[in-house]
Amino acid sequence: MPSLDCIVIGGGTNGLACAARLARKGRRVLVLEASGAPGGGAAGGGFAPGFRSPGLAHIVHMIDPRVADILALDRHGLGYHTISLASTALSATGDHLRLDGAFGASLTGTISAEDRAAWAELRARLMRFAAALAPFRGLTPPRLARAPGNDWAQLARLGLGVRRMGKTDFREFLRMFLINVWDVLNDELTDDRLKGLVAFDATLGSWLGPRSPNSLLLLLNRLSGEVAGQQGALALPKGGMPAVAAALASAAEAAGVTIRTGTAVARIDVVGDKVIGVTLANGEELRAHRVVSAISPKTTLLSLLGPRHLDTGATMRIQHQKSRGGAAKLHLALSALPDFMGADPKTRLVIAPSADHVERAFNPVKYGEVPAAPVMEVVIPSAFEPGLAPDGQHVLSAVVQYAPHAPKAGEDAARAAMLEATLATLETHAPGVRKLIVGQKMLMPYDIERRYGMPGGNWHHGELSVEQMLFLRPASGMAQYASPVPGLWLASAGTHPGGGISGASGWNAAGRILEEARA
Amino acid sequence: MKVEPRLHFHMPLQRTPFHARTSAANVLNQWGNWSGYTTALVFEDEAMEYSAIRNAASLYDLCPMVKYRFTGPDAAACLDRLTLRAASRLSVGGVHYTAWCDDAGKFLDDGTLFRLGPEDFRLCCQERHLPWLIDSALGFDVRVREETEEVAALSLQGPCSAVVLQAAGFDVSALKPFRMMSLPFGDGTLLISRTGFTGDLGYELWTTPDQALRLWDHLTVAGRPWGIRPVGSSALNLARIEAGFVITNMDFIAAHQAVREDRTRSPIEMALDWMIDWDKGHFNGRRALLAEREGKTSRWAFVGLDVPGNVPATGAVIYAGKTKEAGFVTAAEWLPTAKRNVALAHIERKYLKSDLWADIYALRELQYARLMLPVTVTERPFFNPARKRATPPGRF
């Protein structure tokens, strides 16, 4: 008999959340992390002598409240500089628009009274719709099969919850929830800076432009999450994203989880149509009653498990799961604080001059090309706390969209072009910034794929889009965290509810595993 | 025969490499469409053709049968995962009857698998499946391609078939059922397998299209003393019903082509679960089939029926206790050799033990007479002669 109840592949936030929940119920759990430190997309690292990056992610949009509360992440060292980081919609003329509070509760800057009122109304409506969707995040997606074994009572409660928003709101919700954000913004607002910022936020980390169908749903999905009770949060953890990873790892270890870093899994072992454990890259065999994969479902099923243990149809569904990343990550080491024409450096600085601008930045990547004028969000973590850069110097972290995941020009040429376009855009908004650069690192989607194991460089281990959500995530027939092979479970962001640094997928998966054990 | 692809519309149906001979022999000029090829239904006289299959020697043009080739180090592993039986346990030079399912454990097709070499297989079947086969090859070091047009195949069936081959200079006396051998022939080679679709002694001959007419002529001359004759699909259909064989899309609907949800069938429902190798590892549909077996959830049973009288129960609806619909007939014939009136039918399992009735519409001079006849479930095959299995084969 194996000595382990459970092996979790991947020590990212979902792997750790899943492992911790299982361990809290007395399971003996081992987490295997291929890189040198747990955290996945939340892990940090040095990129220039004396400078540390905040990691692949640099802002926390959501941490599943069950994960945060039950694992008491605060007691494991997780604190925030702010959970409502202000945003500045940068203008190349210095006429910035500042958004304070959750999802722009208040606006500062030159903006018409009509737009202020329209924004207040639109913002409130979107927050209401998102709040109605929030309970779905903790749900095991229902099945559409004949005898699905769904928890109908829970589904009815959730359905009723949405319906309770009232007739007018419900009708409006049905009208809006599958349309594109560009239409919504142009129906209701006129200010280009504001429209650009919201269009950017809706499509951040996706492979959609603002005018792509269903792009509003991604915004609602993001706003349905919370950090420390704050809906629509933009949280900046003390110590950066690595602190989130450390807190989760510490909570998991406190719950009894063993974490092995630098341990890559070569394959998942199957005997008699049951998963019995894994074989590591070094040839070591580990045995457990079940294996949970918190890395991409595609990699898990096609590479570690292999199609020979799957049916052809299931193999094709997972093979065809779309996983294109459109976001590049730029880290700059700067000799001084850059000046974005007077914008507060302790805000999120968004360069997305208009919704059309965001859409035009998306157009080239559809053809494997680099946009001349990318859009981006910039955070200067060193403005919030010391230690990330030598005294007086600074770290700039930017998520830049859109970058081709499969560039026609070749990887190195596309990376160089993307870097140049990004720096040129930054220079326009912060004249002189290029002279401050003492170190730089540009991660293209394919670099992110290699470094973080995310197919296509997609943050969510599979695009988050309406046709890949709920019972279609990661693919039909495997959306309830159980893989087709007995003993193998899926728990990454590639499963419902998807990406972010939230841990929700892992937590949900652990729930299913515990339910199965009881049954 | 190939036509200029741009001018395909002049000849919507392809001609097989034997067309020059089959068209000359087809004095009734009765043709049918088989997988995009024009093929003879009857050449001269269906009864005489059937009689040649059962009492002498018959030639049947097999070219339209769809043929796929699997080559590469993982060919056996890929086929193990694709099909119900263990291809990896099929020895080189061996042939087995097999079938394959979708994820839900529903039939896609059945066919014969030839192991031509350690890493080389030919899969012959009724329907086209290239996309599914290529999808099924993902993760395996194997090349899958269709080779239907690259192979000319003839089926030589009947009690005298071994003697005819002997007379043609091909010594097949040591060839056991479901084995094959390769011989030089003309400017190429000839592969002879002891296989067929008649449930009788018989062989299938495989060569390249350029040798086709030479092979036809050679066998026709060699077989003349034994009354060899070309046979059409009608006579063959009679023989295959006698042998109890099923045909995809005639006796069950291929799951990929089924429009109605309840039309698909599992191997258990088609009484072909004897093929399933449960111990070889995973194969397509295994988990669904295991659940069906464990949960006893099979809805249908595919059975042979004895029907009284001599009117074939073609298309008949089967009733339980004359009132409740219990199933339907997919093939029915009065069998000349077995001297029995039989049918192949799908019956809902819950009615298997009821008294079953066939509601037959017999066409008598423009007018249907309705016959409600009691039928009984019976063993298949309806015809199973020892000569089919004897090695060396009998000299008739």
DSSP sequence for B107-135: EEEEEEEEEEETTEEEEEESS--HHHHHH
Could you tell me if A168 and A216 lie in one domain? yes
Number of H helices, E strands in chain B: 8, 19
CATH of the domain at B155: 3.30.1360.120
> Residue B219 — φ and ψ, nearest 5°?
-70, -40
Q: Which of A202, A231, A260 is where one domain is finished?
A: A231
Q: Is residue A502 within 8 Å of A305, Cβ to Cβ? A: no
**Domain membership flag for residue B245:** no
Mean pLDDT, residues A97-120 taken together: 97
Assign B126 a pLDDT band (cuts: 50, 70, 90).
very high
Assign A1 a pLDDT band (cuts: 50, 70, 90).
low
Question: Considering its fold, how many domains does chain B have in total?
Answer: 2
Number of residues in chain B: 396
Q: Which domain holds residue B295?
A: 261-378
**Domain membership flag for residue B214:** yes
The lowest-confidence range among A146-150, A476-480, B18-22, B36-40 is A146-150
- What three-state secondary structure class fits B22? helix
Could you tell me if B290 and B353 lie in one domain? yes
Could you tell me if B266 and B360 lie in one domain? yes
Which residues of chain A have a CB within 8 Å of the CB of B285? Answer: 311
Mean pLDDT, residues B289-304 taken together: 97
Could you tell me if A349 and A428 lie in one domain? yes
Which residues of chain B have a CB within 8 Å of the CB of A484? Answer: 287
Of A308, A313, A319, the CB nearest to B103: A313
Q: What is the mean pLDDT of chain B?
A: 96
**Domain membership flag for residue A89:** no
What is the rounded distance in angstroms from the CA atom of residue B390 to the CA atom of residue B367?
47
CB contact A483 to B (< 8 Å): no
**Domain membership flag for residue B14:** yes
Q: Which of B231, B247, B277 is where one domain is finished?
A: B231
Could you tell me if A152 and A221 lie in one domain? yes
**Domain membership flag for residue A506:** yes
**Domain membership flag for residue A112:** no
Could you tell me if B315 and B197 lie in one domain? no
What is the ipTM metric for this complex?
Answer: 0.93
Of B138, B285, B287, the CB nearest to A307: B138
Name the DSSP class of B362.
E
> Is B6 a residue whose pLDDT tops 90?
no
What is the rounded distance in angstroms from the CA atom of residue B171 to the CA atom of residue B194?
12
Closest CA to A133 of A153, A113, A163, A102: A163
**Domain membership flag for residue A248:** yes
pLDDT at A160: 86
CB atoms < 10 A from the CB of A153, how many? 8
The count of C-alpha atoms lying within 13 angstroms of the C-alpha of B34, restricted to the half-sphere facing its C-beta, is 24
Mean pLDDT, residues B33-61 taken together: 97
pLDDT at A344: 97
Could you tell me if B279 and B191 lie in one domain? no
Q: Say if strands B37-42 and B30-34 run parallel, antiparallel, or are unpaired.
A: antiparallel
pLDDT at A148: 62
Could you tell me if A441 and A335 lie in one domain? yes
Question: Considering its fold, how many domains does chain A have in total?
Answer: 3
> Is B222 a residue whose pLDDT tops 80?
yes
**Domain membership flag for residue B145:** no
> Is A154 a residue whose pLDDT tops 90?
no
Assign B5 a pLDDT band (cuts: 50, 70, 90).
confident
Q: Which of A425, A452, A479 is where one domain is finished?
A: A452
Q: Do A315 and B138 touch (CB under 8 A)?
A: yes
CATH of the domain at A257: 3.50.50.60
Mean pLDDT, residues A489-509 taken together: 93
Could you tell me if B274 and B209 lie in one domain? no
CB contact B264 to A (< 8 Å): no
What is the rounded distance in angstroms from the CA atom of residue A380 to the CA atom of residue B80?
57
pLDDT at A383: 95
Assign A40 a pLDDT band (cuts: 50, 70, 90).
confident
Mean pLDDT, residues A3-12 taken together: 95
What is the rounded distance in angstroms from the CA atom of residue B148 to the CA atom of residue B166?
28
The count of C-alpha atoms lying within 13 angstroms of the C-alpha of A223, restricted to the half-sphere facing its C-beta, is 24
**Domain membership flag for residue B72:** no
Number of residues in chain A: 519
Q: Do B139 and A273 touch (CB under 8 A)?
A: no
Could you tell me if B303 and B370 lie in one domain? yes
Which residues of chain B have a CB within 8 Å of the CB of A273? Answer: 281-282, 286-287
Residues 133-152 of B with CB under 8 A from A: 135-136, 138-140
CATH of the domain at B276: 2.40.30.110
> Is B376 a residue whose pLDDT tops 60?
yes
> Is A417 a residue whose pLDDT tops 90?
yes
What is the rounded distance in angstroms from the CA atom of residue A262 to the CA atom of residue A348?
34
Which residues of chain A have a CB within 8 Å of the CB of B139? Answer: 302, 306-308, 315
Phi-psi sector, A23: left (phi>0), alpha (psi -120 to 50), beta? alpha
**Domain membership flag for residue B115:** no
- B207-230: b (≥16 Cβ within 10 Å) or e: bbbebbbebbebbbebbeebbbbb
> Is A317 a residue whose pLDDT tops 80?
yes
Mean pLDDT, residues A194-211 taken together: 97
Tell me the per-residue pLDDT of B309-328, one tens digit each, with 9 for 90 and over.
999 999 999 999 999 999 99
**Helical spans, DSSP H, in A406-461:** 411-429, 433-436, 445-452
Tell me the per-residue pLDDT of B252-281, one tens digit each, with 9 for 90 and over.
999 999 999 999 999 999 999 999 999 999
Total beta-carbon pairs less than 8 A apart between chain A and chain B: 46
What is the rounded distance in angstroms from the CA atom of residue A102 to the CA atom of residue A65?
17
Mean pLDDT, residues A50-60 taken together: 88
**Domain membership flag for residue B18:** yes
Taking CA atoms, what residue in B is nearest to A484?
B287
Could you tell me if A335 and A448 lie in one domain? yes
Q: Is residue A433 within 8 Å of A378, Cβ to Cβ? A: no
What whole-number percentage of chain B has pLDDT above 90? 96
pLDDT at A519: 57
- B44-62: b (≥16 Cβ within 10 Å) or e: bebebbbbbbbbbbbbbbb
Q: Say if strands A394-401 and A375-379 run parallel, antiparallel, or are unpaired.
A: antiparallel
Of B103, B132, B281, the CB nearest to A314: B103
Q: What is the mean pLDDT of chain A?
A: 94
What is the rounded distance in angstroms from the CA atom of residue A498 to the CA atom of residue A405?
20
Could you tell me if A12 and A69 lie in one domain? yes
Mean pLDDT, residues A173-180 taken together: 94
Assign B36 a pLDDT band (cuts: 50, 70, 90).
very high
Could you tell me if B276 and B370 lie in one domain? yes
Could you tell me if A347 and A424 lie in one domain? yes
Taking CA atoms, what residue in B is nearest to A305?
B139
Could you tell me if A209 and A148 lie in one domain? yes
Could you tell me if B224 and B276 lie in one domain? no
Q: Is residue A8 within 8 Å of A18, Cβ to Cβ? A: yes
Mean pLDDT, residues A372-395 taken together: 95
Q: Do B136 and A319 touch (CB under 8 A)?
A: no
Could you tell me if B363 and B282 lie in one domain? yes
> Is B23 a residue whose pLDDT tops 90?
yes
**Domain membership flag for residue A332:** yes
**Domain membership flag for residue A100:** no
CB contact A314 to B (< 8 Å): yes
Q: Which domain holds residue A514?
A: 4-79+237-321+460-518
Which residues of chain B have a CB within 8 Å of the CB of A315? Answer: 135-136, 138-139
Residue with tokens 């994820």: B103
Could you tell me if A154 and A261 lie in one domain? no
The count of C-alpha atoms lying within 13 angstroms of the C-alpha of A295, restricted to the half-sphere facing its C-beta, is 33
**Domain membership flag for residue A105:** no
pTM for this predicted structure = 0.93
**Domain membership flag for residue B210:** yes
Could you tell me if B176 and B320 lie in one domain? no
Interface test with A, best of B83, B141, B262, B287 (most A CBs within 10 A): B287
